[in-house]
Structure 1
Amino acid sequence: MSVALRTGQALRRTAIQAVPTMLGIIVLCFLLLQLMPGDVADVLAGESGAATAESLEAIRSRAGLDQPLLVQLGQYLWNVAHFDFGQSTRFGTPVSQLILERLPNTLVLMLTALGLALGLGILTGSVMAVYAGRWPDRVLQLVVLFFYSTPGFWIGLMAIVLFSVQLGWLPSGGSQTIGAELTGLAALLDRLPYLVLPALAMASFFIAVYARLTRAALLEVLRQDYLRTAVAKGLPPFVIYTRHALRNALIPVTTVAGMHLGNLLGGAVVVETVFSWPGMGRLALEAVAGRDFNVLLGVLLLSSFLVIVTNVAVDLLHAWLDPRTEAS
């Protein structure tokens, strides 16, 4: 079966599943948010220090909060069906504009963290499997256990103390030099130092997970008959490990990596707050604090879409790693 045909089938299957899934997410999140105490009118009144009953009613009327709950839900679903996520009741700007301003920063942080987690995790797990039972395996298992049992935000705070405060090597927060209007390669080089610490803090737990998965999967694969045949044929060890063993061992790792995207999005809230990273995580936190439900629903909806797209990518990767999965 061709790659184009497999891709088309995966996209059609995902589209059929994604519509009811995202609809359920919207309805559930909308109803759960209504259980939160207060609304944007109460928050704005508290920030201003005082407000009359008439001004509160005017704010609620302008935001559509005076309508019955089902009417609000129906209106929101109608707007989303027309790709309109509404206005931010706090900032007075379209929700889509706010999200698009923050989305690139979050994607860069997430993809960098995921790349570090997969790269370092697979490399560490491979070394542990090759030297299973010997001192490199035991030392690396202790390091992996430390990262697995330590919260990422604590590692981030300690990294700030060491690399920013004590050594002064890396910035402690932000995403770029303030006031530096750089473009192209200069802008990329300027942003890289700001990306290192938050990406490592977000990736630390997942490095440990992927290392342990890779070690276990490789040890299982290395006991298979076809690898004994490859060794008997005199293939170089590097070829045996990379082309035969590691390729099959990566299937459970990539499966778990696709499932962890939602955890990365959730962890972005804490990491972006610790490092003052201007992404969707901080936007969601600000929306919760300000009871800006339109912004929060928009962030949740886009996050769900990213998870679904990632699952499609994982399915296609599995089909490439093991063509036998095409039939499933």
Structure 2
Amino acid sequence: MWKTIVRRIFVMIPQIFFLSLLVFLLAKAMPGDALTGSIDPNIDPAAIEAQRERLGLNNPWFIQYWDWIKNAVTGDLGQSFRFKMPVTQLIGERMMNTVWLSVATLILTYVIAVPLGIISGRYNDTWSDRLITGYTYLGFAAPLFIFALLMLWVFGFQLGWFPTEGSVAPGSAAGTFAYAMSKIYHLLLPSLSMALITTVSTVQYLRSEIIDTKQKDFVLTARAKGASESRIYNRHILRNSLLPIAAFFGYEITGLIGGTVFIENIFSYPGMGQLFISSISIRDFSVVTSLVLLFGIASIVGALLSDMILSAVDPRIRIK
């Protein structure tokens, strides 16, 4: 397995290189630059042009790319034009909010999906199965941003059960118990909104795996030997059906990347997704390219993590 992991890591290097090149070219293809439309119109155009020259914005794209990637390797992602601070520091301040939101969403996803998938698969073609299947169909049909807006309107504005913006209550002192509880309280509604949508694919997949496993020869043999139904489900059916779900863990991470962009903007949650959208609107290219590159690397690492988990939980599978 370790040889496979090392080989996959070497494959990731050219993938990250081509990803960085694509991200940079797409950013440069956007109209204007960071000095377009965001400065005082009374400033002398010659001074603006001199600033562009100083920042290297007039250099050929390949020189700009080389300068950017050379600095990125050393941890220097450039300077944000909007926030007037290093991009590394800016992303670092927002990253933990996005990480906690993703972790909370993953926990809620599996807490909801595994019991529903087991019930739906074990008691298929019953009323409970039909209700759960109906929920998954609605989840597949409902766009995440529409569902999140509905959750915000109902539970945030109408019922007032949850805060409607921010990641912590104003005035909370960092490091205190009240601060930690406030962070969790602000996480609940956005993470639950995303989990209720992202969980439907896991529910359907687990249901299909359980139904399929129930027809396997080793399950029929166990029944023929007189094993109890609880033992058959716990020792044979669930054990084999949960293996692919474990491998989905890495791919769930990649799916959260797109979800957090919507969720953070809808709930005004100060994470990397909200920073990404705001940076696009003001053409803060240093921040945009850095965030897209980080999101892409996270997706590549998530795919590798899924392969590693699948190889670890099922020794019969060795990814070549």
Query: Hey, what does 2:28 align to over in structure 1?
Result: 34
Query: Hey, what does 2:213 align to over in structure 1?
Result: 221
Number of residue pairs matched? Answer: 320
Confirm or deny: 8 A CA contact 2:168 2:186 kept in the other structure: yes
CA distance in 2, matches of 1:235, 1:255: 29
Change (3 A) 1:10 1:90: farther
Alignment of 1:281-300 (within 5 A): 281-300=273-292
In the alignment, is residue 77 of structure 1 matched against residue 69 of structure 2?
A: yes
Offset from partner CA, 1:185-244 (integer Å, 9 cap, x none): 432211112111111222222211111111111111111111223334444434432342
Q: Report deviation, 1:327.
A: 5.4
Offset from partner CA, 1:64-121 (integer Å, 9 cap, x none): 2021111101111211222321222322211111111111111111122122223312
Alignment of 1:1-328 (within 5 A): 6=1, 8-45=2-39, 48-326=40-318, 328=320
- Decide which moves more: 230-239 or 262-271: 230-239
TM-score (norm 2): 0.92
- Decide which moves more: 54-63 or 202-211: 54-63
Confirm or deny: 8 A CA contact 2:113 2:199 kept in the other structure: yes
Confirm or deny: 8 A CA contact 1:198 1:275 kept in the other structure: yes
What letter matches 1:17 in structure 2? V
Q: Residue 72 of structure 2: SS of its match in structure 1? A: helix
Q: Report deviation, 1:10.
A: 4.7
Confirm or deny: 8 A CA contact 2:5 2:308 kept in the other structure: no
Q: Residue 324 of structure 1: SS of its match in structure 2? A: coil
- Decide which moves more: 278-287 or 85-94: 85-94
Confirm or deny: 8 A CA contact 2:109 2:196 kept in the other structure: yes
TM-score (norm 1): 0.90
Same amino acid, percent of matched pairs = 32
List gaps (5 residues or longer) in structure 2: none
CA distance in 2, matches of 1:15, 1:260: 20
CA distance in 2, matches of 1:182, 1:244: 48
Superposed structure 1 runs of 4+ greater than 6 Å apart: none
Confirm or deny: 8 A CA contact 1:10 1:315 kept in the other structure: no
Offset from partner CA, 1:226-276 (integer Å, 9 cap, x none): 122333444443443234222322344344453343332112111100101
List gaps (5 residues or longer) in structure 1: 1-5
